[in-house]
Amino acid sequence: MPSTQKKIGEKIPLPRAAFLFSTVIALASVWFGLDQWTKHWAITSLKGTPGITLIPGFFHFTYGENTGAAFGILRDNPVALTFISTFVILLMLWFATQIDWHPWSHRIAAGLIAGGAMGNLLDRYKLGFVVDFIDFQFGSWHYPTFNIADTGICIGIGIFLVRQIFFCNKSSVINH
């Protein structure tokens, strides 16, 4: 059977590129919509309240406003955060047109990262901060509050890393 590996920088036919691009856009749009819907719920249901306890001492929904990125880095630096978010979105969309990503894991990762970045970028643009509401703690340990966009970004990065570290041939982007 002939090799069907795609080399880095190898062009793919336009119809295939359009299909790959559309799958990333579709997932990014769904994740973006889910993020915005849950943040709207958090604003209308949690803001100004003590929050909702789902599992006492462990899992809560608590409204928060984050002017930084993950774990509060770059706090109060909206220009840098806007630039980084825009760059990540454009990079994921560019990847979707340049690389024949198979298996689906790479397209899923790109869609989750792009959708999450778009969700947080829109918050920063509209509100001046990102709405966070998912809250975990265990005893005195408290994980930073986060949202669905952050979850998509982290899961997407995790998928990329696992796939690259454990499953990819080092001489190609992809193994069919």
Identify whether the C-beta of residue 8 lies closer than 8 Å to the C-beta of residue 172: yes
Helix H or strand E segment including 26? helix 14-45
CB atoms within 10 A of CB 104: 12
Q: Is 100 a catalytic residue?
A: no
Determine the number of helices (DSSP H) and then strands (DSSP E) in the chain: 4, 4
Q: Which of 106, 122, 111 is nearest to 153 (CA)?
A: 111
Structure-token match 């209308």, residue found: 44
Q: Which of 35, 100, 123, 132 is catalytic?
A: 132
| Amino acid identity at 115 | G
Q: Is 132 a catalytic residue?
A: yes
Annotated catalytic residues are 132, 150
